[in-house]
Structure formats: C-alpha cells, structure tokens
Amino acid sequence: MLTKDNKDTSKYNVNNIEEIKKASPKVAGLIAKEYERQLNNIELIASENYCSEAVLAACGSCLSWKYAEGYPYNRTSGNLGRYYGGTEFVDELEEYCCDQWRKVFNTDYHVNVQPHSGSQANFSAYAALLEPGDTVLSMSLDNGGHLTHGSSVNFSGKLYDIHFYDVNEDGIIDMPMVREKARELKPKLILAGASAYARVLDFQEFANIAKEVGAYFMVDMAHIAGLIAAGEHNSPFGYADVITTTTHKTLRGPRGGLIFAKPELAKKIDSKVFPYAQGGPLEHIIAGKAICAEEAQTEEYKQYIKQVVKNSKAFAKAFLDLGYKVVTGGTDNHLFMVDLREKKFSGRILQERLDENQITLNKNCVPGDPRSPKETSGIRVGTAPMTTRGYVESDFVKVAQKIDEIIKELDQEFA
C-alpha cells in the first residue's frame, strides 16, 4: 500500500513489472509511469482510492480466465446453475463473497456481486424495476447526482422519463420539494444518492415519500458505502427496495459494482444482471470484492473511515478559513466542492494547473453553475485516497494552502 514517504516501488503494485516487460516493454513503461504519478501526486479525486496488495493479487490471479456464466445452483432462489463446467470453486467463492457483503452491512438483503461497475449495477437495477418510459425522480448531475441518475447523454436519460428534485440555496436537498414533486409526478422510482453531495442523506424520509406515492425507492450509495459500513453515515438498509454501490471509492476494493435488493426482488435483479446486461462474471474481480468485504469488517478499516471524515471536515474548514465558498458550507462525508463562480477562470483551468503541480482532483459543476460541464465553476475534492496514504488533518490544511497559492497565481494571470 502506498505511503506518503516510501518511494520504493519494488514492493507495491508494480512488483510484477518484470513479467510485463518481457511481453510488452511499452505497456510496462506506461504502467510504471502511472504508478510514479500516483506515488508522487497528491490524489484528491473523491471516487478513487488505493486497494490492498491482497485485492490486487486476487484481481491478477488465475481466476482471470475462468468463464462462469450464470449463478451458483440454488433451488430456493431459482438460480439453475452455470452454463459452463468446472465452476465448483468459483461457485463457492461467489456465495462466500455474497455472505461477506451481507455481514458488512448487517443485512438479510439479496446480494448480486456480478456487476462489472456501478453504472452497470444501476442499469440492471433500473431494468428490474422499470419499463422504458417510466417516470423516475432523482438528483441532477448539476446538483450533485451521477451521470446514471438521468443525464440526457446517458442511458438513464434516454430510456426513462427523468425528473429532478433540487437543492436549496445552501446546496442542501430540498426534501419538501422532493415530496411535492413526488405527489405531482407519481414516479415509478425515487432515487437517492450522489457523486458530489457533502451532506447526510435522509433515507427514512425518502422512503416515507416513496411509500406515500407508491414508488420503488432505490439508493445509489457508491460514494458513501464505506462510511455506511463503518457507521459514519446512516444506513439505507431496511428503507430502500434496491441499493447499488461500487466496491472502490471509500470501500477501497477493486473496480466493480454490487446490487442489494429486498428478497422478493432477487429473481428480477439477477435476471437483469445475467443474461440481460452481462455475460460471464469477472470471478477474479469477485475474489477481490470478497477480500474487500473482509477488510471492511475490521476495526482498522473503521478507524480509517473515521479519519477520512475528520480529514474531510478539516480540509473544508481550511478552505473556508482561506475565504473560499464551500458548497453546503462544509461536509459530513469524504468529499466537498469548492465554488469558483466568482473567479475569472473555470474549474477545468484550475484542475489542469493543479495537475502541473502534482495535485490531482476533478473539475465539477456546482448548483446553479453558469459554465458548461466541460468547464465548470467548481472543483470536487475527496480525502479517502490520501488518508489511505497516512494523511491526517494537518496535512490537508497544508494542501489547502498550496491550492490557495495556485489559485492566487491564476487570479493574477486572469486579472
């Protein structure tokens, strides 16, 4: 695992670089360069993190070439087995992975560990609950939602009749408006979850509204799943009909997705993952997901998440103390956005300048953003990856000060 001081790359995730070099010096060189970038840059992208050596090893294991279309045989659930032979051990692995994720979130929900990504998890969940053209009420990308929550350029916006609830002038979800729009629209599905929202989500109130109008309630907890697992954010289990997540981000696992569903929806969910949306599952990634689930149950992991949140709060406060506007005025989780609408330069320009100074983050729209999504008037920052590398509150204060110096340089250039 990366640390902020250790520069010895031989013991980390390029320890197989010699084998790669034998086959492709070009690919090996690019991997090594990316590793050096990750090691030397301050990584603030809220959707990224560093996984353990065990997860990396599982993802590069012999499971990489095992095909296993279908599900482990289960007479009770109706899963009729695989379409390939030789699946005895991957069946056991997949069932073990499912059991571990139920333990992580202390739930009896059905689990599908096969989605290749969070977006594919959302695609399959929608397909299980909706027909094309059905009405969905969700949070827009501009207000902090995700591309798959109804953006017009995404499958979600093209297949379904998407309507958005808003945030108030402080950037907080306007729950009275959610109820008002739900009563007006009578959606088939109400979705909670975000990719750039810094405050706690009220799952109980969302569930109450969904029940009132007869809608399914779905939660995309991809960003905050690690906080929920560690008890640093309230849980959607028991409230939502379907819950999707990634296994990277705050969970520190491999790139991949999960779907949790109330037991009565299990067959619908499974059939919309396979065979509707995907073919063979990635059993090597499922092995990484299983290890990730085990790690998420440890006390060490819970303490890590506590530090992620402490760091995020300290980081946001440092920007506020420096005179910047932080969307919602602070944060309750692992991320927040800095509002640059008053600046003459865009979030894109700041992102590029920070890249030149070995600070990695992403441009992001802020609520009411006058600039295009390609330019944006904000930046999104997250504390999960650098907390993995050992940063504490004082380190993030220094990072805020460095970003402030670079912003001031841009102010001079654009004066």
Active-site residue 255, yes or no?
yes
CA distances (Å), origin 51, targets 11, 254, 292, 360: 14, 7, 8, 18
- From the candidates 91, 220, 283, 395, which is the catalytic residue? 220
- With vertex at residue 212, the alpha carbon angle to CA 206 and CA 217, rounded to the nearest 5 degrees, is 40
- From the candidates 66, 82, 181, 249, which is the catalytic residue? 249
Active-site residue 246, yes or no?
yes
Contact at 8 Å (CB) between 371 and 346? yes
Active-site residue 67, yes or no?
yes
Q: Please name every residue paired with 216 in a beta bridge, in sequence order, or none if there are none.
A: 189
- From the candidates 35, 48, 69, 325, which is the catalytic residue? 69
CA dihedral sign of residues 146, 151, 154, 159: positive
Contact at 8 Å (CB) between 221 and 236? yes
Note the helical H segments in 60-161. 88-104, 118-129, 155-159
What are 90's two structure tokens? 């991957």
Active-site residue 300, yes or no?
no
Report which of 253, 263, 250 is spatially closest to residue 286, judged by C-alpha positions.
253
Q: Please name every residue paired with 243 in a beta bridge, in sequence order, or none if there are none.
A: 219, 260
Q: Can you spell out the DSSP letters for 153-197?
A: TSHHHHHSEEEEE-B-TTS-B-HHHHHHHHHHH--SEEEEE-SS-
- From the candidates 9, 12, 35, 67, which is the catalytic residue? 67
Active-site residue 249, yes or no?
yes
Q: Is 265 helix (H, G, I), strand (E, B) or coil?
A: helix
- From the candidates 246, 247, 250, 383, which is the catalytic residue? 246
What are 134's two structure tokens? 């059905």
* Active site amino acids: 67, 69, 220, 246, 249, 255
